[in-house]
Structure 1
Amino acid sequence: MPITPEALSSELRVSVGRFVRRLRAEHGEADLTEGQFGVLTTLLRNGEMTPGAIAQRERVKPPSMTRTVNALAELGMVEKVEHPTDRRLVVVRLSEAGRREVAETRRRRDAWLAQKLRELPVEDRAVLARAHEILRDLASCGK
């Protein structure tokens, strides 16, 4: 008997959540929170930004982002510089240490997952390749 969309949605939600938590356990030397790591990847992808712009992109409140940025600055992962046109603002940019942390975290996550995939039968890897396409398409459907 085929699984219903409702049952499958529940099973997928739980499985994907567990998978993401396990993958996130692989991180670089700095042992950052996922929120902190998200800020680093946002800066890597988008270039320097104000804390307010980062907060908007990461969907958190500005005071929370200020604390996150300050913690990352203390760790040397980001640099805060004067805004070029508004002295009341600062701009946050990724430091070289932040770039290395993103690269190392991604390398460790990819290595962990590649090892797990090597342990699977070829047929299961083919199923996952197809599932990847389906999940990518689902994610791009919008809200």
Structure 2
Amino acid sequence: MIHMAKQSASSKLSADASELRAAVFRLSRRLKQQRAVSDMTDGQFAVLVALKLHGPHTLSALAEREGVTAPSMNRTVNCLEELGHLSRTENGVDRRKVDIVITDSGRRVVEETVRRRDEWLSKVLSGLDGDDRETLRRAAAIIMREVER
């Protein structure tokens, strides 16, 4: 009997995890559709966000931050540089190194994309009652706490 109760609790937990994963994934996809630049990849956008939030990085530091190889990051940086969203500058401490820096154009892409995403989500939230919005506010806090562990 105890074994069945544990199995049932485990099944319920697994089902809850699956339901939450699916909901978060679908929400993420809908938010990603709200872009300032429609042909920019998620990886390219993530690089611009990292540079905007954390300042200049060397290529290797940026690759490490984003969890990709240096050659892969170099391709991403080259593309964003060609579009004028970032630039390479001499490192002020070690002249052998090059820093990758977000440009005003890159900042505008990040800011406009964030604005569009917040606007879309605000519209969704405006259709909910106060209890549902409070539930989502609490869920967001729990999710952030857990992913930042």
TM-score in same-fold range (> 0.5): yes
Unaligned stretches of 5+ residues in structure 2? 1-7
Give the superposition deviation at 1:14. Answer: 1.2
**Structure 2 CA distance for aligned equivalents of residues 97 and 30 of structure 1:** 15
Matched, 1:60 2:68: yes
Counterpart residue identity of residue 46, structure 2: G
Matches within 5 A, 1:64-143: 64-141=72-149
- Give the equivalent residue in structure 2 for 1:31: 39
Q: Which runs of 4+ in 1 moved over 6 A?
A: none
Give the superposition deviation at 1:86. Answer: 4.3
**Structure 2 CA distance for aligned equivalents of residues 130 and 87 of structure 1:** 48
Aligned-partner SS, 1:120: coil
Counterpart residue identity of residue 139, structure 2: A
Give the superposition deviation at 1:64. Answer: 0.2
**Structure 2 CA distance for aligned equivalents of residues 140 and 46 of structure 1:** 17
Matched, 1:12 2:15: no
Give the superposition deviation at 1:88. Answer: 4.2
Change (3 A) 1:45 1:25: same
Aligned-partner SS, 1:76: coil
**Structure 2 CA distance for aligned equivalents of residues 103 and 51 of structure 1:** 23
* TM-score (ref. length: structure 2): 0.87
Give the superposition deviation at 1:24. Answer: 0.6
Higher radius of gyration, 1 or 2: 2
Counterpart residue identity of residue 52, structure 2: L
Q: Which is helix-richer, 1 or 2?
A: 2
Q: CA RMSD in A?
A: 1.8
Unaligned stretches of 5+ residues in structure 1? none
Counterpart residue identity of residue 26, structure 1: Q
Aligned-partner SS, 2:57: coil
**Structure 1 CA distance for aligned equivalents of residues 83 and 51 of structure 2:** 16
**Structure 2 CA distance for aligned equivalents of residues 5 and 15 of structure 1:** 15
Change (3 A) 1:17 1:30: closer
